[in-house]
Amino acid sequence: MDILQIVLLGVIASILYIIVKDMNSSLAFLIILVTGIIIFLVVVQHIATIFKLIETLGKKANIEGMYVETILKIIGIAYIAELGAGITKDAGLGSVSSKIELVGKIFILVLAVPIITALIEAILTFLPAA
């Protein structure tokens, strides 16, 4: 599926949602949910390619595997949290959506702490001792 097909799917789903939402709000939400899942599954294939590229670049640059793996996890958390927040927002649950976004940010911060620590330690080794 290329971008044109994905956009067309989104536009058709949006039109169906607008038509169906007054008659059956559950079905309208289901249309949006299924459309979001289809789009996500299509994009996951492309994301996997990007992950492989990042891993390859990390190996070429002799970056420790833990750091590359952590970065990939952070990217995954960001995308999953965004998808979940978007779906709950579409369902009219803005407060749940904001909680999902907050939890995603907290998980990203937790994963980033070792990288930040290593970065600070590397910077300190370059500074002259006082």
The pTM (predicted TM-score) of the whole model is: 0.68
Is the pLDDT confidence value at 1 over 70? no
Candidates 59, 57, 72, 64; CA nearest to 122 is 64
Average pLDDT over residues 107-115: 92
Three-class secondary structure of residue 97 per DSSP: helix
User: What's the pLDDT at 57?
Assistant: 82
Cα angle 103, 14, 16; round to 5: 130
With beta carbons less than 8 A apart as the criterion, state whether 30 and 40 touch.
Answer: no
